[in-house]
Amino acid sequence: MKILVTGANGYLGQGIVKAILESGNEVVAACHSRVDVVDPRAEIKQCELFAIKNPYDYFGRPDVLLHLAWRDGFVHYSSAHIDDLPKHYIFIKKMAEAGCKHIAAMGSMHEIGFFEGSINENTPCNPITPYGIGKNALRDLTRMICKQNNCVFQWLRGYYIVGNSKYGSSIFSKIMAAVEEDKKEFPFTLGQNQYDFIDYPEFCTQVAAVVGQNQEQGIINICSGRPEKLADRVERFIKENNYDIKLQYGMFPDRPYDSKAIWGDNSKIEKIMRREDK
């Protein structure tokens, strides 16, 4: 299949493009800038995504749209999450109405808001940040568009990604940056909250598997399916990378909107991955 990946040059996009190519599908990679970081096996299109009049034709009539493009994804209170929402809606609407029959988009567990326990596709959403509110609204709009145009609808709800990149705002990126600055201590919370952590390569592999099939549709958690204490995962990350840095526990309070224990129900993604292995 030919899969259009928007935001292909972003933190998630770079690895996902590679994983889709490795799965045997073609990729048209839409990038705003930094095209040099995208796998050269993809057909790379540097463009102003939302300014394209007929994106379906412009991108060569792809079989699948995987919409990753999203500004300020690590800045949860950025106004961009609300300001850009109409542009995302119009872009997806144009793609569906022009003939793209399989639409997938990246969501976030932050759509859920404050919740404790396992999240499945029926868990109520009460987002409490502009980021969560924006993603929540786009999910509902995308589902509506797909229903109106008889398209496959997939919403890939992402969880906490562990990756070796200093570019980003995750705790892991910040630790990498601190190590590069030769710091020996890192100020930290108590780290007792439990989250669903998934390693970056596995995250990308799961996304590629989801968009490469259409049997499983709707909301699909991209996750490990199990909770782990933040302190335990960060200590393990430091050990895995042989970093000479220690956590200073209790220096920061937990964010008020973070749940004490939250993880994804992985039953759907497990079905997909089992079929991939056959």
Q: pLDDT by residue (tens digit) across 155-203? A: 999 999 998 776 667 889 899 999 999 999 999 999 999 999 999 999 9
245 in Cβ contact with 181 (< 8 Å): no
Average pLDDT (246-263) is 88
Catalytic residue among 11, 56, 89, 131: 131
pLDDT at 258 over 80: no
pLDDT at 7 over 90: yes
Residue 189 identity = T
Q: Is 17 helix (H, G, I), strand (E, B) or coil?
A: helix
pLDDT at 252 over 70: yes
Task: Map tokens 């300001």 to a residue.
Answer: 83
Handedness of CA 179, 233, 202, 105 (dihedral sign): negative
Average pLDDT (59-72) is 97
* Statement: 2-160+196-226+264-277 belongs to CATH 3.40.50.720: yes
pLDDT at 254 over 90: no
pLDDT at residue 248, rounded to an integer: 96
Residue 107 banded pLDDT, cuts 50, 70, 90:
very high
227 in Cβ contact with 160 (< 8 Å): no
pLDDT at residue 12, rounded to an integer: 93
Residue 8 identity = A
The segment(s) of the chain belonging to CATH 3.40.50.720 are 2-160+196-226+264-277
Helix axes 267-277, 200-211, angle to 10 degrees: 80
Helix (H) or strand (E) holding 15: helix 11-22
Active site residue 131: yes
Q: What is the percentage of the chain residues whose pLDDT exceeds 90?
A: 88
- How many helices (DSSP H) and strands (DSSP E) are in the chain? 9, 15
pLDDT at residue 167, rounded to an integer: 64
Residue 51 banded pLDDT, cuts 50, 70, 90:
very high
Question: What one-character DSSP code corresponds to residue 66?
Answer: E
pLDDT at residue 193, rounded to an integer: 93
Residue 205 banded pLDDT, cuts 50, 70, 90:
very high
Q: Is 212 helix (H, G, I), strand (E, B) or coil?
A: coil
pLDDT at 276 over 80: no
pLDDT at residue 137, rounded to an integer: 98
pLDDT at residue 164, rounded to an integer: 75
pLDDT at 2 over 80: yes
Q: pTM of the prediction?
A: 0.93
pLDDT at residue 168, rounded to an integer: 65
- Give me the helices (H) in 149-266, please: 171-180, 200-211, 230-240
